[in-house]
Amino acid sequence: MIRPVLLIALPLFFAFLSPIIGIWSKKGVRYLIIFATALNATLAGILLLEALQKPVFDIIGGFQPPLGIVLMVGPLGAIIAFIINLVAFAISIYNLKVEKEPIVRYSMLYLLLVMGSTGMVLTGDLFNLFVFLEVTSIASYGLAAYNKDKKGYLGAMKYVIIGSIGSTFVLLGIALIYSQLRTLNMLDIAARIGTMDPYVKIMAFTSLFLGFGVEAEMFPLNTWVPDAYDGAPHPISAAFASLPAKAGVFALARVIFTMFSFTNFLWFVVVMGLLTVFFGEIVAYTQKDLKRMLAYSSIGQMGMIIMGLGIGTTLAVEGAFYQMIAHALGKALLFIAAGFLIYAARSGKIEDMKGMARNPLIGIPLLIGALSIMGMPPFAGFYGKFFILMGGFSQGYYAIIALFLAASIVEVAYYARFIKIVFERGNESKVIRPDAATYVPLIILAIIIVVIGVYPKPILTVLQHVGTFIAGGA
């Protein structure tokens, strides 16, 4: 019996502990972080098994829900939390490659980023969600500028400005809801959302949607994405794509399905998602810089997830969740590989990376990750896109499906170009062998992608509960 609160309390404990350990041994802190994320991933795995039986409610402070805070973990939240922590564990190994001082602070910020993202997924209280959003975003701001160069500062500054606007919107939405319903518990809100004034309801929904849209990289609010990803240290770019983004989009799902069970407003979500897909994929096609290309591709993928949520049928939402999982794994892998390629080629330009991935330790995982992101069948990324498309088809969104497919083709084209260049023969002397801190996380992620691609049954078993999630359950 695992209490979900441990997933939040233990990382906090380790984060507060690390400055003390850091006085004696800086290396010790790094291994402590790896241990903490591994422990968290294990606990999240056990929690997932528990949540599959029935949703877990963890009352905090001993006060019944609307009075106090409650964590609400259904099967879907549990699997997203599990994936977040698993990826966080893989990235924490790659963190060993970061050398720049102050390394203890870096480790703490990273651990708190993981904690905040996990908390956003687990919580069942609207204001608590906002608190964890703040934790996540402030940790992200610090990490985005960690390189302390011009690119890093620029990206972090954009992120800070847009992120604060987003947080303000979330807070406004919460204030509107509280002013009408006098409660902050999500299920309590859901039970009484009908008594709200319709105008206030729509304003609250729009505010929350836009606010969480910043983390979820939704179209008009994602101008920070390429700069922040580009300027951040390589492990952090990987973490950005997998942790806060997934937590943000899960919060969106909570807003849409758990709290406001809107059905007539979902076209808005679909349109926003589609715009995001288009913006991301088309700009990604024109990029020459590897990390920027991956960042724009990440925007595109997040748009697909938002679209899946907006289509709103069981199949499409299932696809959106599968896509979240696949994208978290695949994009983390690609960013880690990108970090290695940039290090090996001493340049961020794709054209300078000729043949850099010819070592099988880097090449095979890279290939698997890219194919998965493109949505090729035997890998994890396929099911997400496929289910979203099928869901859209069954709802009759024909034009949208056509545009979606066109965007996917563009995606295939630019990834194919990238793959072709990195496997091309040329400057053999510069090809180097990655060290363990690079290839171990790559191989872990690649194995998971292949396993859940070839044998998707466990994931699909969990995703069966999408029906209850859409109906407003945990």
Partner 1 sequence: MVTDWLIHAGLVALYLFLAMVIGLLFMGIARKITARIQNRVGPPIYQNFLDLGKLLAKKTNIKHNWIFDFAPLFGLGGVLLILAYLPMGGYIMLSGQGDLILLLYILAIPALGFALGSGASGNPNAGVGVMRALTLMLSYEMPFLIVILSLMIFYNTASLSVLLQKQMNYLWGIAALPISALAADIALQGMMAEKPFDIPIAPHEIASGPLVEFGGKYLGLLMLYSAGSIVVETSLFVDLFLGGGIVLNPTVYGTLAYFVNYLVWLALIFVVWMIAIFVNAVFPRFRIEQAFKFYWKWPTVIAIAGLVQAYVMSVFLGVVP
Partner 2 sequence: MKKALAIVLAILIFIVFALAFVKIPFGEKMSTYPHYYNPITNQTSNMSLPQHYLTYGKNDTGATNMVTAIVVDYRGFDTLGEVTVLFLASTGVGSLMYVENKVKKKVRRSNAVVETGSKLLFGFIILFGAYIFIHGHLTPGGGFPGGAVIASAFLLLYLAYPKFHAKHEKLSVSESIAGLTFVIVGLIGLIIAGYFLYNFLPFGLPTYLFSAGVIPLIYVAIGVKVGSELTAIVDSMMGVRE
Which residues contribute to the site for partner 2 (CB under 8 A)? 3, 5, 9, 12-13, 15-20, 22-23, 57-70, 101-102, 105-106, 108-109, 112, 115-116, 119, 127-128, 131-132, 134-135, 138-139, 141-142, 145-146, 148, 172, 176, 179-183, 185, 187-188, 191-192, 195, 197, 199-200, 203-204
Question: What's the token pair of residue 184?
Answer: 């902050």
Choose from partner 2, partner 1, none: what does 105 bind? Cβ within 5-8 Å by kind: partner 2
Q: Which residues contact 289 (CB under 8 A, 6 or more apart)?
A: 230, 348, 349, 350
DSSP code, position 145: T
- Greatest alpha-carbon pair distance for the chain in Å reads 70
The C-alpha atoms of residue 171 and residue 36 are separated, in whole angstroms, by 31
Nearer to partner 1 among residue 306 and residue 410 (C-beta): 410
Choose from partner 2, partner 1, none: what does 402 bind? Cβ within 5-8 Å by kind: partner 1
The C-alpha atoms of residue 463 and residue 56 are separated, in whole angstroms, by 17
Choose from partner 1, partner 2, none: what does 426 bind? Cβ within 5-8 Å by kind: partner 1
Distance from the Cα of residue 184 to its chain's centroid: 25
Residue with tokens 């939405």: 173
Angle at 294 between CA 291 and CA 299, to 5 degrees: 130
Choose from partner 2, partner 1, none: what does 420 bind? Cβ within 5-8 Å by kind: partner 1
Residue 368, interface with partner 1 (CB under 8 A)?
no
The C-alpha atoms of residue 313 and residue 470 are separated, in whole angstroms, by 8
DSSP string for 220-267: GG-THHHHHHHHS-HHHHHHHHHTHHHHHHHHHHIIIIII---SSSHH
Contact set for partner 1, span 422-451 (CB under 8 A): 423-426
CB of 8 to partner 2, least distance (A): 8
Rg (CA), the chain: 21
CB of 450 to partner 2, least distance (A): 36
Contact set for partner 1, span 308-367 (CB under 8 A): 355, 358, 360, 363, 367
Choose from partner 1, partner 2, none: what does 423 bind? Cβ within 5-8 Å by kind: partner 1
Choose from partner 2, partner 1, none: what does 179 bind? Cβ within 5-8 Å by kind: partner 2
State the residues that interact with partner 1 by CB under 8 A. 355, 358, 360, 363, 367, 371, 374-377, 382, 385-386, 389-390, 393, 398, 401-402, 405-406, 408-410, 412-413, 416-417, 419-421, 423-426
